[in-house]
């Protein structure tokens, strides 16, 4: 599709901020809006809701597992602030809590006797519905502790910024347990009812007109994969102000979510796969090691998310190699834990090369 735009004289400068075109030659709104949404590259955040573990609770984790504590030692600003700072991909972890209250009395706080020194509002965790946290009992603090709360915050920001490039929200469905830890909460598995409820929650907050759904992309194509291979992603004019949801899981969960559908007919979310008729979105978090798979996914029209850093490793050493590989990979959404530096570790941060909010993708924008 992009070569057709170039032939029509709508070439877009590689330095153009696609969310806020300057109007200069090669950076006009008309040229930018004609691009398909998979021709962009933006930055996003990993575990976007995550707040820091309280000091006394972190000390407990560090005593038990210093290696684990190091990987958990990061946090993010509230979602609104991240979006204001240019994040156009967010990640939310869900725990199933159909009866309510299952995760409202975390073990780490009880053990650290930390409720006065580092208080936390557990009221939102007591009602039924999906909860948002990284690891129950030890890494539970969230800027939006309920799924509906996160959705409403994203929707409010999106409505207030109707020209934003499409936001990708990916979700992990957490059902792991702290094995061998007495007193820890037991996670509730995600069954078919829970999968339907995720869609219902999304659609209770976002009208269809504000979503980029599998059906919207597939159109009249025989499968979703066939649609994206043929250039089925909407252009930026149609995608501005909209949000796309994807389940960042593999194996049984996306299979349960998809059910007997040929692709993802009627569903609100895309699933994480680069194989089969439902392939349109894939998470490939290792930009160097998985370069060949990223290249193949992009060639087949998929949207890809990768990571610029992980587990605080790059921040502690100010290592930018993985970040450079992530941006060079052509993944449309590059995730970081460091939209700004953590002063405890040093100057490491991840920003879109050349600045701005959205740039022409170095692979799919050619």
- SS3 string, the chain, reads CHHHHHHCCCCCCCCCCCCCCCCCCCCCHHHHHCCEHHHEEEEEECCCCECCCCHHHHHHHHHHCHHHHHHCCCCCCCHHHHHHCCCCEEEEEEEECCCCCCCCCCHHHHHHCCCCCCCCCCHHHCCCCCEECCECCCECCECCCEHHHHHHHHHHHHHHCCCCCCEEEEEEEECCCCCCCCCCCCCECCCHHHHHHHHHHHHHHCCHHHECCHHHHHCCCCCHHHHHHCCCCCEHHHHCCCEEEEECCCCHHHHHHHCCCCCCCCCCEEEECCCCCCCCEEECCCCCCCHHHHHHHHHCCCEEEEECCCCCHHHHHCCCHHHHHHHHCCCCEEEECCCCCCCCCCCCCCCCCCCCCEEECCCCCC
Residue-wise pLDDT tens digits, 154-175: 999 999 999 999 999 999 999 9
Write down the pLDDT at residue 10. 56
Closest Cα partner for 91 from 53, 133, 47, 148? 47
Exposure class string for 93-110: b at 16+ Cβ within 10 A, else e: bbbbbeeeebbbebbbbe
Give the number of residues written for the chain: 366
The token duo for 17 is 């901020």
**Confidence class of residue 366 from pLDDT cuts 50, 70 and 90?**
confident
Note the pTM of the prediction, 2 decimals.
0.95
**Confidence class of residue 178 from pLDDT cuts 50, 70 and 90?**
confident
Residue-wise pLDDT tens digits, 226-249: 999 999 999 999 999 999 999 999
Question: 282 versus 182: which is more confidently predicted?
Answer: 282
The token duo for 164 is 């934003």
**Confidence class of residue 61 from pLDDT cuts 50, 70 and 90?**
very high
Whether the predicted pLDDT of 114 surpasses 90: no
């Amino acid at each position: 599709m992009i070569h057709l735009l170039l032939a029509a004289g709508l070439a877009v400068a590689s330095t153009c901020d696609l969310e806020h075109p300057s109007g200069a030659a090669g950076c006009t709104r008309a040229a930018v809006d004609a691009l398909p949404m998979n021709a962009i590259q933006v930055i996003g955040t990993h575990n976007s809701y995550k707040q820091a573990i309280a000091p006394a609770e972190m000390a407990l984790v560090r005593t038990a597992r210093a290696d684990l504590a190091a990987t958990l030692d990061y946090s993010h600003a509230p979602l609104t602030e991240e979006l204001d700072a240019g994040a156009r991909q967010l990640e939310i972890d869900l725990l199933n809590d159909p009866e309510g209250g299952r995760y409202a009395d975390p073990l780490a706080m009880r053990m650290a006797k930390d409720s006065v020194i580092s208080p936390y509002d557990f009221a939102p965790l007591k009602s039924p519905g999906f909860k948002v946290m990284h690891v129950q009992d030890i890494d539970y603090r969230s800027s939006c502790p309920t799924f509906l709360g996160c959705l409403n915050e994203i929707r409010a920001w999106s409505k207030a910024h109707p020209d934003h490039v499409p936001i990708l929200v990916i979700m992990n469905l957490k059902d792991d347990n702290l094995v061998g830890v007495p007193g820890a909460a037991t996670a509730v598995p995600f069954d078919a009812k829970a999968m339907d409820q995720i869609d219902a929650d999304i659609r209770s907050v976002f009208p269809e007109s504000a979503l980029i759904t599998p059906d919207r992309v597939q159109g009249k194509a025989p499968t979703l994969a066939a649609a994206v291979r043929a250039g089925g992603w909407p252009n930026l004019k149609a995608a501005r102000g909209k949000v796309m949801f994807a389940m960042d899981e593999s194996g049984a969960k996306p299979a349960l979510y998809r059910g007997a559908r040929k692709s993802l007919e009627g569903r609100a979310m895309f699933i994480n796969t680069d194989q089969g008729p439902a392939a349109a979105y894939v998470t490939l978090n290792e930009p160097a090691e998985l370069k060949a798979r990223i290249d193949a996914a992009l060639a087949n029209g998929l949207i890809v998310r990768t990571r610029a850093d992980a587990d605080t490793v790059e921040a502690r050493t100010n290592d930018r190699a993985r970040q450079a590989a992530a941006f060079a990979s052509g993944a449309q959404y590059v995730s970081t834990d460091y939209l700004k530096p953590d002063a405890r570790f040093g100057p490491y941060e991840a920003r879109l090369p050349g600045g701005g909010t959205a740039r022409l993708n170095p692979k799919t924008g050619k």
